[in-house]
Structure 1
Amino acid sequence: MEQTLRDSEERFRKVFEGSIDGMVLWNWDLKIVDINPAAANYFDCSREDAIGKKIQNLLLTNDEKVQKDFLRHLFQLKENGTADYLFNVSKANETKYYEITSKGNLTSNMNLTVIRDITERRAMQEQLRKSDTLNIVGELAAGIAHEIRNPMTALKGFIQLLQNSMKEEEHSLYFNVITSELARIETIITDFLVLAKPQAIQFQNHDIRKIMRDTIGLLNAQALMHNIQISCRFDDGLPDVYCEGNQLKQVFINIIKNAIEVMPDGGKIDIKICYEKERGVVHTSIRDEGEGIPDDKIEKLGEPFYTTKERGTGLGLMISYKIIKEHKGFIQVQSKVREGTTFHIFLPVQQEAGDENGFYLAGKPNRTFNSKG
């Protein structure tokens, strides 16, 4: 019998220690009795340090709301014998999401909590959600282009005829407004088409400095009208970027135009381009001095129809994210309320022959920073 008990305990210990899920044994004094290596790894602690501590201090942050939510989880466990709970922990500019399942009264005064890291699962679900939204936008765009562009052409033609036949200056303002709004509708339709139709992309080596200078040349007049100065700083020896020049220019136009529009009273836009040799990327940063974007809104940037502007559609940034993704790069956003926003664009340089993709990009494509950067 003693041998059977020892064998049973050894089997339990091996399962407990070798589980890929985190496991914590604790009593109704909320003190940890045992913890397996997976759980200790999740929360950056050793088994010796964890034993004897309160379970809520190990698993959670000092956030009072989170603490109360966890205590509610424990109350549900005591009532029903089982309970589930989701929470997140922020570490080094990265948020990790965990799922907890607890089983009460396994033995006398002993409970088991199983912790699973579901960060990647959540990211995949979010990606699928965005992909579904993009497919819907694409289907809508195909119909919109045909149904709206035909009457739009007729409207523009008759507006021009009316404008030519009516010479009174008092009506010129009305015609200008109508023409401007029709042009805006046409721009939105064009943005939809970029999302809906596969684009014929011809990648070539381009000097990113020239693309940026051409972009600034296009937007400089608009910037001066808003009393905005654009300053540029390029590192020496920047390598060429293997890209589609016009698409990259479109990304720069979208982001710089947004920067201009968020500073109606004037300000400064700082643009820097450097080469990060270790990661094999060219890093472009575009910083404005606008009102900034709260943390909870940064994550939604790039989604269709999500915008922080009163008359925006959200399609400009969505197209920009799509273009950079097609270039095997990624965008990060760093913002602080009342201090401004910086868009960081990372693009890989061409790799030597032999790589089937022709690209190399080191590092994880994390899309956002928090406000602390």
Structure 2
Amino acid sequence: MKDQGGTTGEAAGPALTDVLDGIPAGILVVDRRGNIIAINNLLAEWLGIDAREARGRHFRELPCEKGDGGQNNPLLLTLKTGQEFNCVKHTSRFSVSIRALRNARGEITGAMAVFQDTGYCRELEQAVIKAERLAILGQLCAITMHEIKNPLAAVRGYLQLFKKELRDSPRAGRVDTMLAAVDRINTIITDFLRLARPAVPRRKSCSLPAVIESAIKLIEGEAKHRGIRVAFSCEGELSAVMLDEEQFHQVLLNVFKNACEAMPDGGEITVRAVAEPDTALFRIEVEDTGPGMAEDLCRRAFEPFITTKENGTGLGLYISRLIVKNHGGDMKIENNPNRGCKVVIFLPQANSLVDQGLA
């Protein structure tokens, strides 16, 4: 900034303008006479003006300064005395911090005002409070669910004994219905506990093809019953991967189960494991030949409690993605309406995990 003996400072250069536009606050810089040297785009947007047209004009022409205090205007006082101010402006929308700018001799050459949108700050504060309350609620839910799960195990045990006693009775079917209901409750509780207390993965070096093949074997029976063929192939050099095998089985089984349920009249599930040397990632694709998903549902598929299943909790994909992210990877869904869905899982290769300090 050039300012000698009260001359108007030069307009901010392109580099300074880029810096100011990258700051998540409104910035106003004036010379000693109060003429605007720089105003970033965020403040200009808040005030409904053009930043380029504002430069060179007096700051009192800005909408937030009109009729503000005459000679007692905080920015004018800062230019005269060097006093710092923290105040509220423009019908309390902004909180403003004003500081003097000085040269090497300590002389005042201008001032800078930093504007914060108080509405946004209040929203952020409310969001933090809400998050803290939800965290406490989550802990209480986890404790409650755990306490319910213990007596539920006893109920299931006695129902199984009761079923043996009624082996040849027509009432045995009613016990099966009760057992199914208990299992349903247990599944919901387990999902909520995983949501509230996601387990830290216990990684070990695994063969990715072997892990996938073992998960496929677990759903082969259901797939055959539904008339679904499962095909698995590998591409590239699939070296070792660091996985919590039990957790990753849960992810694969959830994805496989969703694919099976999308094809009640039969179809095909294609599973591919691909090594991507350029990205140091493994890519696992699970593609079905079902009807696909509605676009709005596809966009929200990884949100909690989103489901189209009559008895679904809507937590399966959400928890699966949490597990994958805890392994340093990610998940996405590619939707082909009327032609099926493809779930893609990305996992870092073992050497890249070491580089990230996650192994």
Structure 1 length normalisation: TM-score? Answer: 0.61
Distance 1:217 1:11 in 2: 70
Task: Tell me by how many angstroms 1:285 deviates.
Answer: 0.6
Q: CA distance change for structure 1 residues 8 and 131 in 2, over 3 Å: closer, same or farther? A: same
Task: Tell me by how many angstroms 1:162 deviates.
Answer: 3.2
Q: CA distance change for structure 1 residues 205 and 295 in 2, over 3 Å: closer, same or farther? A: same
Task: Tell me by how many angstroms 1:212 deviates.
Answer: 0.7
Deviation string for 1:86-108 (max 9, x for gaps)? xxxxxxxxxxxxxx54525979x
Aligned mate of 2:48, from 93, 100, 103: 103
SS in 1 for 2:171: helix
Distance 2:353 2:246 in 1: 25
- Corresponding letter in the other structure for 2:355: D
Partner of 1:338: 338
Q: CA distance change for structure 1 residues 10 and 243 in 2, over 3 Å: closer, same or farther? A: same
Task: Tell me by how many angstroms 1:292 deviates.
Answer: 2.1
Q: Does 1:146 align with 2:91?
A: no
Q: Where does the alignment leave 5 or more consecutive residues of structure 1 unmatched?
A: 23-35, 40-81, 84-99, 113-124, 360-373
Task: State the superposition RMSD in angstroms.
Answer: 4.2
Q: Is the 8 A contact 1:137 1:192 kept in 2?
A: no
Q: Is the 8 A contact 1:273 1:282 kept in 2?
A: yes
SS in 2 for 1:325: helix
Distance 2:240 2:190 in 1: 29
Q: CA distance change for structure 1 residues 132 and 215 in 2, over 3 Å: closer, same or farther? A: farther
1:62-141 aligned at under 5 Å gives the runs: 101=46, 103=48, 136-141=137-142
Indicate the larger mover: 311-320 or 136-145.
136-145
Deviation string for 1:302-321 (max 9, x for gaps)? 33222232211022212211
Q: CA distance change for structure 1 residues 309 and 102 in 2, over 3 Å: closer, same or farther? A: farther
Deviation string for 1:225-250 (max 9, x for gaps)? 11111111112521111111111111
Q: Is the 8 A contact 1:205 1:242 kept in 2?
A: yes
1:340-359 aligned at under 5 Å gives the runs: 340-351=340-351, 355=355, 357-358=357-358
Structure 2 length normalisation: TM-score? Answer: 0.64
Q: Does 1:159 align with 2:139?
A: no
Task: Tell me by how many angstroms 1:171 deviates.
Answer: 2.2
Q: Is the 8 A contact 2:280 2:352 kept in 1?
A: no
Q: CA distance change for structure 1 residues 210 and 133 in 2, over 3 Å: closer, same or farther? A: farther
Task: Tell me by how many angstroms 1:344 deviates.
Answer: 0.7
Residue identity over aligned pairs, in percent, reads: 27
Task: Tell me by how many angstroms 1:340 deviates.
Answer: 1.6
Distance 1:126 1:288 in 2: 39
Aligned residue pair count: 276
Q: Is the 8 A contact 1:203 1:244 kept in 2?
A: yes
Partner of 2:251: 251
Partner of 2:303: 303
Q: Where does the alignment leave 5 or more consecutive residues of structure 2 unmatched?
A: 23-37, 64-125
Task: Tell me by how many angstroms 1:341 deviates.
Answer: 1.3
- Corresponding letter in the other structure for 1:288: D
Task: Tell me by how many angstroms 1:148 deviates.
Answer: 4.2
Deviation string for 1:179-203 (max 9, x for gaps)? 1221222222222233334636431
Task: Tell me by how many angstroms 1:209 deviates.
Answer: 0.6
Task: Tell me by how many angstroms 1:176 deviates.
Answer: 1.8
Q: Is the 8 A contact 1:286 1:342 kept in 2?
A: yes
Q: Is the 8 A contact 1:270 1:286 kept in 2?
A: yes
- Corresponding letter in the other structure for 2:48: K
1:227-306 aligned at under 5 Å gives the runs: 227-306=227-306
Distance 2:309 2:127 in 1: 24
